[in-house]
Structure 1
Amino acid sequence: MQQHDDMILITGATGFLGGAVAVELLRQRHGARLLLMVRGDSTADAYTRVCTQLRRLGASDVDLARLKPSQILLASLERVDAIAGDPRLMKVGVAIHCAAQASFASHPSLGALNIDASVILARLLQRHGRLRRFIYIGTAMACGTRHAQDSEVTESAELPLDEQSHLVPYTHSKALCELLLSKMVPALPLVVLRPSIIVGHTRLGCAPSSSIYWVFRAWRALGASVAQLHQKIDVVPVDWCAAAIAAVALRSEWRHDLLHLSAGAASSCSFADIDSELAWTEGEAVGNYDILSEDRLPELLPRIRQRLPDCNPRLLLRALRLYGGFSKLGYTFSNAAMQAADIPPPPPLVRYAGLCAASVAHETVSRQMRWDFK
C-alpha cells in the first residue's frame, strides 16, 4: 500500500470537530504532516489558541509536542485569499475543511463564511497539482425537510436549494456549498462527508463542548417535548466522527465521493431511551413528558421561569422551537455506504449519555446554551 508524506491541511482546528480531527491525527503520529489554518493576531497567538483547544479535546503534552508553530497557516475564513502565496500549499495532498459558521442563530455573514470562503479555498488548493483529496465536512441535515417523518434518509447529491426546504440558514448554506464546489471547481478531488448530529465525546463527555446536549437536559427539566418519545434521533460522538474523517484522509485509495457519518436506524436512540439513561445517571425517575405542538410552546414560560431560572425565557423558548423542529422530523441517516467503506458504526448515545450528564452536571443550562448561541 502506498504511503503518503504530503501535508494534511485542516481548517477549523479551534472548533469542536476540527479540533477532534487534529487530535486524532496527532495520536496516529501524523503530527508532522499537519498544517492548521487558524485565525489569530500572530502565529504565536494562533498556536496557543489551537493548543488550548486540542488539550481540551484530550491531547496530551506528548501529542502537542508533535505540533510546531511553523505548522500554523495564519488565516481566517473572512480573508482566506490571504494564503494564496504561501509555499506550504504546494505540499498539501489532503485538505479537511471543517471550518464554518455552525450556529443555528441567524448570522449576517453566513454565506460569505460557509459558501464563498469554501469555494475560494478549494480553488486555491486546486491550483497546486499535489492535492489528492478535498474533504468537505457538510451536514446530514443538508437534506432539508422534504422527507417523510421518521424516514431513514440515504445519501443523495440532489439537495433542496430553496430556503423554505430548510429549518435554518446553516443547513441551506451547506447544501448550496456542496453544489457550488462541484460546479465551480469541477476538477476538485471532492469527498463530501455529512455527519449527523454531533453530541459529546465517548471519553470526555460534554466537557469539551455542551453543544446540543443541553437541549436534552432542558426538555427533561421542563417535562415537555415536541417530538414523540418513541421517535429516534441520529447522534454521533465527536471522537468517533473525527476517527472516521481521519480514516478517509489517510486511506491511500478512496472511491467514495459522498458518505453519511451517522448512527443510522440501528444505532440511533429514541428520546425515551435517552431520558431513561439520563434518569438513571441522575438517580431520578424517568420523565413524564407533555408532548406539545410548536404553537403551544409558550405554555412552557412559567415552567422555564420556575425550573430553569438561569435561562432567558424568550431565548430558550426560541431555541426549543428551533431544535424541536429538527427532533420531530425523526430522521435517521443511512450509514450502509459508510460501513461498506469499512468505517464501523458509532456507539449509541445511551452508551455515553451518562458521562455527558456527569461531565457538565455543575453547569447551568444557560451556560451550556452558549455553545450554540454565541
Structure 2
Amino acid sequence: MRNVLITGATGFLGGAALSYILKEKSECQLLLLTRGESTKHAVMRVNENLRKFQLAETLINRISSDNILLGDLTAPDFFLEDCRLNAITDVINCAHITSSGNNPFIWTGYVEGMLRFVDRMSQAPSLRHFLHIESAGLGVSASECGLDNKPGFSNYENVIAQCSWANSLIEQRIIECYPELPLMRIVPSTGIEQTELGNSICRHLNLP
C-alpha cells in the first residue's frame, strides 16, 4: 500500500495531482497537509478546489477528516509530530506561499518551515519519493497569491520573482543538507492540462 502525502491540495498543482489520484489510483492512501480552522473546514476547502477539476461528487466525498493533516508550512510545529507521517511512502510537494505583502519575514518563515518539513520527512522510514513541483508562475495569479495592490509588489513579475527565489533557495538547501533524500523535481509547462499534469506526477512516483 502506498501512503501519499500531498501539500498544496487546495491549489492548482495539488488539486490536479489529487483529482488524478482519486480517479485513477484508488488503492493509494491519502494524507493532505491543509490549512483550516478545523479538520472539517479543511475538508471543505479541499472539496471546493476539487470541484474546479470537474471531479464526480462520489470521488470528492472520499475525502474525509481522516485524510487531513491540519497545518501550515509557516507554522510547522503544529503538525510535524503527527505519527501518520512515519508511514508516508511518497510526498507530492505542491505547496507555495499564498500571501506576503511587503513583509520579508513571511517569506523567510515559509522557507524555514518547508525545510523543517523536509527534515521531518527525511526521517520517515518508509519514504520512497519526495517529489517537489515547481509552482512559480504556473496556474497562480497575483490576486490568488494575495500580492496584488500591496506595497512592495507593483506587478505580477515581482510575485513570480519572489516565488522563484523561495523555490530556488529551498531546492538548494535540500540538496546541500539532505543528500540522501529521494528527491525528484518536476517543472510543469505553462498551460499544461490538469490530466496530463496528474498523469506525469503519478508516472514519476510509479504509483500502482
TM-score by length of 1: 0.46
SS in 2 for 1:66: coil
Corresponding residue of 2:68: 72
The residue aligned with 1:137 is 133
| Secondary structure of 1:195's aligned partner | coil
Q: How does 1:116-265 map to 2 (within 5 A)?
A: 116-138=112-134, 168-197=161-190, 235-251=191-207
Question: What does residue 108 of structure 2 align with?
Answer: 111
Deviations 1:21-62 (A, max 9, x none): 100000013375110010111111111111111112222112
Preserved contact between residue 132 and residue 185 of structure 2 (Cα < 8 Å): yes
Q: Distance in 1 between matches of 2:103 and 2:4?
A: 29
Higher Cα Rg, which structure:
1
CA distance in 2, matches of 1:92, 1:42: 22
- Structure 1 residues 54 and 139, CA, compared in 2 at 3 Å: closer, same or farther? closer
| CA distance in 2: counterparts of 1:246 and 1:73, whole angstroms | 21
What's 1:364 paired with? none
Residues 139, 196 of structure 1: 8 Å contact kept: no
Q: Residues 1-374 of structure 1 correspond to what in structure 2 (within 5 A)? A: 5-30=1-26, 33-101=29-97, 108=104, 109-113=106-110, 115-138=111-134, 168-197=161-190, 235-251=191-207
* SS at 2:132 equivalent: strand
Asked whether the equivalents of residues 134 and 189 of structure 1 are also in contact (C-alpha less than 8 Å), the reply is: yes
Long gaps (5+) in structure 1: 142-166, 198-234, 253-374
CA deviation after TM superposition for structure 1 residue 243, in Å: 2.1
Q: How many residues of Structure 1 are paired with residues of Structure 2 in the alignment?
A: 186
Q: Percent identity?
A: 29
Given that 1:32 and 1:67 are in contact with CA atoms closer than 8 Å, whether structure 2 keeps it comes out as no
Q: Distance in 1 between matches of 2:27 and 2:73?
A: 23
Cα deviation 1:253-283 (Å, max 9, x = unaligned): xxxxxxxxxxxxxxxxxxxxxxxxxxxxxxx
What is the TM-score when the length of structure 2 is the normalising length? 0.80
CA gap 1:140/1:17 in 2 versus in 1, 3 angstroms: closer
2: CA distance between counterparts of 1:172 and 1:68? 35
Question: 1:31, 1:101 → 2: CA distance?
Answer: 30
Residue identity opposite 2:201 in structure 1? I
Structure 1 distance, partners of 2:35, 2:185, is 24
Query: Could you tell me which amino acid in structure 2 is paired with residue 69 of structure 1?
Result: S
User: Unaligned 5+ residue runs, structure 2?
Assistant: 138-159
Distance 1:139 1:79, change over 3 A: closer
1:140 deviates by 8.1
Shift of 1:106: 5.8
Q: Which structure exhibits the higher relative contact order, with contacts defined as CA atoms closer than 8 Å and separated by 6 or more residues? A: 2
AA aligned to 1:194 is V
Residue deviations 1:274-296 (CA, integer Å, cap 9, x gap): xxxxxxxxxxxxxxxxxxxxxxx
Structure 2: distance between partners of 1:41 and 1:188: 32
